[in-house]
Amino acid sequence: MINLLFTSAGRRVELIQEFIRARKEKSIEGKIVCADMSELAPALYFADQAYTVPSIFDPNYLEQLLDICKKEQIRVMIPTIDTELDILSNNVSVFQEAGTEVLISSPETVKISQDKMKTFHFFKSIGLRTPESYIQGMEYRGTFPCFIKPKHGSSSINAIKINNQTELDFFKSYIGDYIIQDFIEGPEYTIDIFCDFEGNPIYLTPRLRLATRSGEVMKTRVVYDDNLENQVLRIVEALKPKGPMTVQAIQSKVDGEFWFIEINARFGGGCPLSMKAGADAAGALYDLLSNKKLQFQRRAANMEFTFLRFDQSIFIPQKSDGGYERTKSCHIRPGRYTLP
């Protein structure tokens, strides 16, 4: 029995669907459980069991998750957003005592991924190109345009291209705890990584970001490049991520070199696209939990397709007390989603 819990499940419907698919294909017995602070989080309505929990910043957050893990006999808990990584990575042993593993990298790796200045210094320390970076209190010595974003930000919130000193002065004040980086112009890549529990790579899938919305890819395709892959493997070797990780890079129009800008120590928003293309991280996790030994499968994803993402709606019956009906899952019928 392999029961999985996805925390802060939110809108990660595609991710949940990929695990449902992998579970069925591998004839795995077990439940997919989702938790979120909002009872209207769409992913809750695709899970076998769903829970509403307090905010990550609530002092009862960990206790509530622990209760769910015990009640549902959760084998592995899978966090999905940046803001929960720090608290969960520092409390892995609490869940292990209850029989639940947390699919999360070490606290040191999480800190590198969440602090953009630490990310900058990490890339430099292993000899990768990365835009020169300046934080609050440092004088910006670069040229314009440049790029400013929150030092601990995510989802491209307040990530802004700056064209002159006047704009820079304004957004420095507006953002506060910022990081300024040299602007690298060129195509952007997200690299979906999945490793075993010891940090050995199983899948590494670079995707060209053709269009994004709020930091999440909307149009993308798999593109392989030996130079990019080999550099990303250096990141994997240094950080030894447990399970998923995504890395972002820009290929400079000036010199054609890859410049690394971001690390996310979790499943990225577009990772289900890599799974659909053949780099089946969902299936790999079930295999690992079934005690199968997996090897690195280089270039497992199919390059023949371009992926276009779009919004869909589900319809949720409302109860007389103002709450909402939860069922096992949502099913597609021609022309619309309905709930059984």
User: How much is the mean pLDDT over the chain?
Assistant: 93
What is the CATH number for 246?
3.30.470.20
Residue 46 lies in a domain: yes
Residue 46 sits in a domain of what CATH number? 3.40.50.20
Q: Helix, strand, or coil here: 239?
A: helix
In a shared domain, residues 164 and 218: no
Structure tokens at 132: 């020169």
pLDDT for 77-86, tens place per residue? 999 999 999 9
Q: Which residues pair with 220 in a beta bridge?
A: 209, 307
Q: What is the pLDDT of residue 153?
A: 78
CATH number (domain holding residue 164): 3.30.1490.20
The answer to the question of residue 317 being in a domain is no
Q: Which of 51-65, 232-246, 323-337 has the lowest mean pLDDT?
A: 323-337
In this structure, the answer to whether residues 219 and 178 fall within a common structural domain is: no
Write down the pLDDT at residue 327: 58
pLDDT beyond 50 at 337 = no
**Same domain for 59 and 8:** yes
Q: Compute the distance between CA of residue 115 and CA of residue 339 in angstroms, rounded to an integer.
A: 41
> How many independent structural domains does the chain possess?
3
Does residue 120 lie in a domain region?
Answer: no
**DSSP reduced 3-state for 218:** strand
Q: State pLDDT tens for residues 148-165.
A: 999 887 767 888 999 999
Angle between helical axes of 13-25 and 281-289 (0-180°, round to 10): 50
- pLDDT of 328 higher than 50: no
Provide the domain limits for residue 71: 4-104
Clarify whether residues 144 and 213 are in a common domain: no
Higher pLDDT, 269 or 329: 269
Q: Report the pLDDT value the prediction gives residue 336, as an integer from 0 to 100.
A: 42
Q: What is the mean pLDDT of residues 115-126?
A: 97
Report whether 88 contacts 196 (CB < 8 A). Answer: no
pLDDT attached to residue 329: 44
| Residue 324's pLDDT band (cuts 50, 70, 90) | confident
Residues 290 and 213 in one domain: yes
- Flag whether 38 is in a domain: yes
- CA proximity to 266, closest of 115, 111, 123, 81: 81
Per-residue model confidence as pLDDT tens digits over 248-293:
999 999 999 999 999 999 999 999 999 999 999 999 999 999 999 9
Looking at the structure, do residues 216 and 290 belong to the same domain, yes or no? Answer: yes
**Predicted confidence (pLDDT) at residue 326 exceeds the cutoff of 60:** yes
Tell me, yes or no, whether 221 lies in a domain: yes
Calculate mean pLDDT across residues 218-233. 97
Q: How confident is the model at residue 10 (pLDDT cuts 50, 70, 90)?
A: very high
157 assigned to some structural domain: yes
Task: Please tell me the predicted confidence (pLDDT) of residue 154.
Answer: 72
Instruction: Provide the b/e sequence for 143-168 (b: ≥16 CB within 10 Å).
Output: eeebbbbebebbeeeebbebeeeebb
Residues 162 and 193 in one domain: no
